């Protein structure tokens, strides 16, 4: 189960966690506490199952995710710290400091998005052409459901 959890986490991370980091992890809406199906443990398990990953692919994805996390942990921590400082500056009413930190956050966000894009490309290299097609279909379906929910929200 632990290996399955790790693999499914890797797949989900590669598919859409840029929003988790872009949001700065405020509250409980980060990568591991999101309300959307792709972020929960059960959602990740379903995704790995739907892609029908081989044991070799699971091992490759596990290694890729571990390497990605290890090599970028400092960047993630720096981003989290900058976000914390930004929130504190806004709460204190220090608009000059908040604006400075906001600019820094935008730069960090772009860097993190590029890192995730490279990781996603590496993940695609592990999947078969059929799995890539299936993954794109799953992403489109998820995006469509997410859009439908947003259209029906009360103002």
Q: What is the pLDDT of residues 30-48, one digit of tens each?
A: 444 444 444 544 655 677 7
Question: Is this structure's pTM higher than 0.75?
Answer: no
Residue 15 and residue 51 in contact, taking contact as beta carbons nearer than 8 Å: no
Q: Give the per-residue pLDDT at 123.
A: 87
Quick one: which of 37, 33, 67 has its CA closest to 50? Answer: 37
Say how many residues make up the chain: 155
Confidence of residue 73 (pLDDT cuts 50, 70, 90): very high
Q: Give the per-residue pLDDT at 48.
A: 76
Q: Which residues of 56-77 are buried (b: 16+ CB within 10 A; e: fewer)?
A: ebbebbbebbeebeeebeeeee
Q: Give the per-residue pLDDT at 24.
A: 39
From CA 103, how far away is CA 2, in angstroms rounded?
A: 39
Helical H runs in 52-127?
Answer: 55-92, 95-126
């Amino acid at each position: 189960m632990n290996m399955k959890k790790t693999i499914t986490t890797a797949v989900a991370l590669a598919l859409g966690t840029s929003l988790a980091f872009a949001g700065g992890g405020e509250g409980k809406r980060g990568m591991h506490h999101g309300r959307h199906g792709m972020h929960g443990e059960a959602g990740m398990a379903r995704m790995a199952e739907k892609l029908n990953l081989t044991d070799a692919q699971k091992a490759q994805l596990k290694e890729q995710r571990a390497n990605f996390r290890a090599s970028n942990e400092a960047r993630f921590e720096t981003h989290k710290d900058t976000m914390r400082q930004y929130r504190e500056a806004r709460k204190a009413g220090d608009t000059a400091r908040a604006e400075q930190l906001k600019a820094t956050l935008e730069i960090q966000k772009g860097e993190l998005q590029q890192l995730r894009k490279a990781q996603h490309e590496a993940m695609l290299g592990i999947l078969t052409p059929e799995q890539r097609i299936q993954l794109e279909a799953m992403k489109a379906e998820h995006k469509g459901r997410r859009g439908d929910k947003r259209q029906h929200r009360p103002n």
